[in-house]
Amino acid sequence: MSKSSTILQVHDICRYFDEKEVIHNVSFQVEEGDIFGFLGPNGAGKTTIIRMILGLIKSDSGTIKINNYDIKSQFLNAINKVGAVVETPTFHENLSGYQNLLLIKNLHPELPKSRIDEVLEIVGLTSRAKDKVHKYSLGMKQRLGLARALINYPKIVFLDEPTNGIDPQGVVQLRELIVQLAIEEKITFFITSHILHEIEQICNKVAVIKGGHLVAHGYVKDLLSKEVETVDIVTEYKKDALKLMKPLDFIEDMVEIETGVRVSLKTGHSGELNKLLNNHLQVDYLIPVHQSLENVFFELTGGGKNE
């Protein structure tokens, strides 16, 4: 086995449904300890890719390795160190948190019973372990789901929309827990979420899928420090501003907004633009728009539309 710290390697995978190619030559990798965000508009192909990674369906070409094991030819080894929490984890509501975990532990006779206490402690549910699950808040159920996913010492945990329906305090707790587990236990997280702000706060890397293609992959900080900046020009004279800016080669994109015009321009040209606009028409303000993952996502995916 190679000494590489790559925990998940997706290489050149394709998938057809009814002779139509829906996943096109997608490659990316996730390193140990990463908190990896997996993003894309509805129908982009995220679920299909995750299902291929977890061995639930097969890719038509390409390879997927988890922990250096091939998901097709070495399935049991590959899946052995994988944990997953689906959107809303389900439990036996009339059993306690502890009893629910005991059922899972019993599927792994090699694990000591004390592992249940450990995972309850990790997710902060020790004091509520004896309560029946129907008394738990959604945030607590999500944490119990994480405890269940952790029981077999996974190296990588897949979380699908982990904060769906959780109150803000629960979201903060879960986020802190994920970061703590990534740092202290070197657990890798693979997270899908529609809340880009959340992904930006928690993930160090992301992959963005659109129309079955990988359109971006890398460190969040690199995606954010792009060569393009966005500025809102606040003016009553929108049409004149658009006309004036149209021939400028440092302008990447312009769109009318309620207060004026939003412009994407090559970084470093906003002073020049300001001067030019003020020489020709009345501009109230130029407001820099904070570059967020959300802006980058919309730039990459065309405002959330898939094609």
Ligand X SMILES: Nc1ncnc2c1ncn2[C@@H]1O[C@H](COP(=O)(O)OP(=O)(O)OP(=O)(O)O)[C@@H](O)[C@H]1O
Task: Give the shortest CB-42-to-ligand X separation in angstroms.
Answer: 3
The helix-helix angle for 114-122 and 97-105 (nearest 10°) equals 130
Q: Considering beta carbons, is residue 2 or 42 the nearer one to ligand X?
A: 42
Task: Give the shortest CB-189-to-ligand X separation in angstroms.
Answer: 18
* Sheet strands (E) in 5-74: 6-17, 20-31, 35-39, 61-66, 69-70
Q: Considering beta carbons, is residue 177 or 300 the nearer one to ligand X?
A: 300
Q: Measure the CA–CA gap between 206 and 135, rounded to whole angstroms.
A: 35
Task: Give the shortest CB-211-to-ligand X separation in angstroms.
Answer: 8
- Residues 158-187, interacting with ligand X (CB under 6 A): none
Q: φ, ψ for residue 269 (rounded to 5)?
A: -110, 10
Q: Considering beta carbons, is residue 100 or 192 the nearer one to ligand X?
A: 192
Q: Considering beta carbons, is residue 44 or 265 the nearer one to ligand X?
A: 44
Radius of gyration, alpha carbons of the chain: 23
Q: Which span (17-25, 141-149, 235-243, 273-281) binds ligand X, by CB under 6 A?
A: 17-25
Considering Cα of 247, then 251, then 255, then 257, what sign does the dihedral take? negative
Q: φ, ψ for residue 298 (rounded to 5)?
A: -65, -35
- Residues 19-78, interacting with ligand X (CB under 6 A): 22, 40, 42-48
Strand-pairing partners, residue 158, are 84, 190
Residue number of the CB atom closest to ligand X: 47
Contact assessment for residue 112 and residue 102, using Cβ atoms and an 8 Å cutoff: no
Return the exposure string of 59-76: e unless at least 16 CB atoms fall within 10 Å of the residue's CB, then b: beebebbbbbbebeeeee
The conformation of residue 239, written as its DSSP 8-state character, comes to H
Of positions 4, 5, 17, 239, contacts ligand X by CB under 6 A: 17
Task: Give the shortest CB-43-to-ligand X separation in angstroms.
Answer: 4
Number of residues that bind ligand X (CB under 6 A): 11
Q: Considering beta carbons, is residue 26 or 156 the nearer one to ligand X?
A: 26
Task: Give the shortest CB-83-to-ligand X separation in angstroms.
Answer: 20
Considering Cα of 249, then 253, then 256, then 262, what sign does the dihedral take? negative
Q: Considering beta carbons, is residue 18 or 227 the nearer one to ligand X?
A: 18
Task: Give the shortest CB-17-to-ligand X separation in angstroms.
Answer: 3
Task: Give the shortest CB-115-to-ligand X separation in angstroms.
Answer: 33
Q: Considering beta carbons, is residue 22 or 138 the nearer one to ligand X?
A: 22
Q: Which span (14-22, 28-36, 97-105, 179-187) binds ligand X, by CB under 6 A?
A: 14-22
Q: Is 81 in the site for ligand X (CB under 6 A)?
A: no
* Sheet strands (E) in the chain: 6-17, 20-31, 35-39, 61-66, 69-70, 82-85, 156-160, 188-192, 205-210, 213-219, 228-234, 251-257, 260-266, 285-289
Query: Which residues here bind ligand X, judged by CB under 6 A?
Result: 17-18, 22, 40, 42-48
